[in-house]
Structures are given as structure tokens and as C-alpha cells.
Amino acid sequence: MKQELTNQELLDRYVFSVKALLARDRADDIAAEIQSSLESVVEDRTTQLGRELSLEELSAILRQSGHPMAVAGRYRDRPFWGLSPEVLRVYRFTLGAILALIFTILAVKACYVFPGRSNLASFLLRFGRELVFGTVIVIAGVTVIFAAWEYLEFKFRFWENWDPRSLSPVPSWTPPSIPRRQPAVQVIGGIAGLVFLALALFYPPLYWIWGGGGHFDLSPAAYAMRLPLWLIAVFAVVQPWLNYTRFASAEWRRFVRVALYIAGLAVAISVYRAGHFLVAGTHWNASRNAASLATLNRMISGTAVLACVLLSIICIHELRGSMRLLGGRHDSGH
Amino acid sequence: MPVDDTQFENLRLELRRGCLVLAVLAKLRSEYHGYALGKALSESGLQIEENTLYPLLRRLESQKLLISQWRMEDKRNKRFYRLSEEGQMVLKRLVEEWRGINGAIETLLGARVAPGRKSA
């Protein structure tokens, strides 16, 4: 026999649904506050009516409070492009679902195709190219659709007509949360990345063995850029580490970031202008690998163009922030 | 909703946004928990949705303008907010700014009304 839902269970379901969508490090705190606030509303309404609320009345309060996706979206720190917090959750969910589908299809296809391929490098290049293009097209497509949706002010109707009673019950068992070791992961991952990059830039034959067809080398233009490239990587990796020090909110960090983005932009432009980043090394089997090397160089150039665009956008954003900071100081100085 | 109403609604929200921060900071010179603060603002004539108020309180707290504390009241755990020292200084400056803007707007609106009165 189906058990009747109680007011407390309904409230718990709602708070749990919001909590499940919040950032893990703040979820408990925010959920506790939402629960406390809703209990205050219920208490107030109960006092006014002089009786316990019915399930319908509590559902109306929860509907007025907002769909869990919309509520969780409002606790996001920074706005994401032009999307409002209410739409952001649905956007991320849709994007995640479509990307997961695309990756699954590509992975299945790769497993099917790989056994017939003898050249691992060309297979990896093809797989990587499909992965990058698939991801870019999906992100661009979904973002444009949602931006247009927002711009045209379509409403998510299910948020207006949703029924809190249809929310999933709170599971009786929740998996223990794994403590995050973010600083340690960042530091260890960063050092490993820097060591790998140093070896790859200063001794590429060690890593880039090309399916038995010889190895490739950095072009003269790339050789000339390897030290600045590595130093930029060092600064980029160290930047997030500072979040765990007393310099976490230091104002000068914004200017360091601007300098870093400008340097990155300069390197990305140089890579693009150089035309090719990699050349054939010793024992190179040209007939077997020429096409793959050309594809790899095109991918590096394409990545450089993307990096230029992204770095320009971030740089403009940071510069505007820096100007505001300087402007604020100037104003307060008078 | 007709286009003009939508435009008005956007402008109204824009106008309210800055005022709400000032109102919340002003009210939190005394200590309130979120729900009581919303009610107090509503009673003062400033309706604010809970979904707007709580994220705003968190944002102001992360900017170190507010401090909060979980405490028991009426057998329930509630989070109480109040202005920090930094918040008090910011509020003082914002109030000065508000009075300046308000005075200027009143002058502008007065200047707009005055010729009409003359012609009447």
C-alpha cells in the first residue's frame, strides 16, 4: 500500500533536490539555510491559519520558492555569459547529456575502428579531431540555442506548473562524500604537468615516438619559443596555488594575470604565424607519417587560433576589471 | 505582456537592484536572520523574493560586508546576519552617494514639474 506523503517528507525532498544541484563545498550550508527559511515560512503560515498546513498549501509555498534547478542556479557566484541563473542549470544539464552521448558514440566507434588500424598515431589524431570538433560544435550549438531562448524570453513552462510532490524521495542511504584534496591535487598535478612540458619542449624525442616510423622534432620557430612558453606555463600553474596562501585576494594578482594573458596571446600568435610547430626528426618515415604530421601541425595552428580568441576575451575582461580597480582608487583618492 | 510593459519591468528591476543592496545593508545594522530580514524589508515597502535575498546575503558576506552566525532561536537553528566593520564603512559611503543621487534626481524632477505648474 502506498504511504501518504507527510509535510516534513515533502520539505526534505525539496531541500534535498536543491542540495543535490549545489556546489559540493557549500551545499550543506546553503541547504541548511533554505530549510531554515522554509520552516520559518511554514511556521508563520501555520500561526496565521491556526492549524497545520495541508500538503497542497505546502506545495504552493514550495512552488513559490521556485523549482530546485532555479533555486540552485541562483547560488552560482559568477554569471555565465548571458544566461540567467534559472536557465543555467538546464543548460548545463542539456550540454552534459549531449556531450556524454557524443563521447559514448565516439568511444564505441573508436573501439570498433581501432583493431583494423595499424598506425596508432593516425588513429589517435583522427579520434582527437572528432572529439575536439564534436565538443566545439555541441557547446556552440547548445549555447546559441539557449542564448536565443533567453533572448526571445521563452519561459520554461515546467517551472511554472511543476509539482513538488513529484520530486524524488530522499534516498535512505547516501554514499560517503570523498574529501577533496584540491590544493594537493593542484600542486602535484601542476608540478607533473610542468615537468612533462619541460621534457617535451626540451627533449621531444623522448616522448613522441611515432608508431615505429621515426620521431618528430620541434621546428626552429618552436625551439625559439620553448623557454617563454614554459615560463608562461609555470606562472599559469602557480597562479591558482596562491589561492591557498595569504595572497588569495591580493589586488596585484589581477595585473599579473593580465600580463600572463598578454604573454600567452603573444606566444599563441607566434605559433600561428610560424605555420608549423613540429618537423620530421631523425629516422623519419615520410611516406608513412607525412599526412599525420601535417594534420598535427594544423591542429596546433587551430588550437593557437582558439587560444588567441579566448585569451583576447579573457584579457579584455581582466583589463576592464583592472581599469575599474584603478578608477576606484583614483576616485577614493580625491 | 506588451513590449512597453516588458521594457518598464526591466528598467524597474534595474533601478531596484542597487537599492536592494543599500536597503539590506541598512537593515543589517541590527541582526536579522534571512526570513525575518525579508519580512522587515517587505514591511518597509521593499518586497524581495527569497531567491534573490539569500544569494545576495551570501554575496555580501563573501565580500566581507556582512558576518553571519548560526544560532538557535525558538528551538530552531537559524543563520543570523549583521554588518561587519567594513560593511559599516561601505554603508556610510553608499548612503552619502544615495543622498547625492536622490537630491540630484529630486532637483531634476522638480525642474521638470515646475514649468508645468507655471503654465497651469
Residue with cell 626528426: A281
Residue B101 has a pLDDT of 92
Contacts of A106 (CB under 8 A, 6+ apart): A127, A130, A131, A134
Q: Confirm whether B53 is domain-assigned.
A: yes
Which burial class, exposed, middle or buried, applies to A30 when counting CB atoms under 10 A from its CB (0-12, 13-18, 19+)? buried
CB-based contact (8 Å) between B9 and chain A?
no
Which residue of chain A comes nearest to B36, CA vs CA? A40
B54/A37 CB distance under 8 A: yes
pLDDT single digits (tens) A204-239: 665 454 445 566 777 887 888 888 888 888 888 888
Which residue of chain B comes nearest to A31, CA vs CA? B54
Q: Confirm whether B26 is domain-assigned.
A: yes
Which residue of chain A comes nearest to B35, CA vs CA? A37
**A245: which 3 cell numbers?**
596562501
pLDDT single digits (tens) B10-26: 788 888 888 899 999 99
Contacts of B36 (CB under 8 A, 6+ apart): A40
Average pLDDT across chain B, whole number: 86
Higher pLDDT, residue A24 or A174:
A24
From the candidates A41, A74, A77, A151, which should be mutated to test the interface with B, based on the most B CB atoms within 10 A? Answer: A74
List the single range of A52-56, A71-75, A173-177, A313-317 with lowest mean pLDDT: A173-177
Q: Confirm whether B118 is domain-assigned.
A: no
Return the domain boundaries, chain A.
7-166, 182-333
In Å, how far is B58's CA from the nearest CA of chain A? 8
List Cα–Cα distances, A80 to A88, A324, B25, in angstroms.
8, 20, 26
Q: Confirm whether B117 is domain-assigned.
A: no
Sorting pLDDT into bands at 50, 70 and 90, what band is B119? very low
- Mean pLDDT over A145-174 rounds to 72
Asked whether residue A153 carries a pLDDT value surpassing 50, the answer given is yes
Look at the alpha carbons of A301, A306, A307, A313 in this order and tell me if their dihedral is positive or negative: positive
Asked whether residue A85 carries a pLDDT value surpassing 60, the answer given is yes
A37/B77 CB distance under 8 A: no
Domain extent at residue B71: 3-112
**A119: which 3 cell numbers?**
598506425
Residue A118 has a pLDDT of 54
Average pLDDT across chain A, whole number: 77
Can you give the CATH number for the domain in which B37 is found? Answer: 1.10.10.10
How many domains does chain B divide into? 1
List the single range of A126-135, A153-162, A192-201, B50-59 with lowest mean pLDDT: A153-162
Asked whether residue B9 carries a pLDDT value surpassing 90, the answer given is no
Asked whether residue A159 carries a pLDDT value surpassing 70, the answer given is no
Which CB contacts under 8 angstroms, 24+ apart, belong to A298-305?
Answer: A299/A125, A299/A128, A299/A129, A299/A132, A300/A271, A301/A271, A301/A272, A301/A275, A301/A276, A301/A277, A304/A268, A304/A269, A304/A271, A304/A272, A305/A268, A305/A272
Q: Confirm whether B16 is domain-assigned.
A: yes
Which one of B35, B51, B55 has the shortest CB-CB distance to A40? B35
Which one of A37, A44, A77 has the shortest CB-CB distance to B50? A37
Residue B61 has a pLDDT of 92
Residue with cell 560586508: B65
For residue B93, which of A328, A13, A121 has the smallest C-alpha distance?
A328
- Mean pLDDT over A309-327 rounds to 76
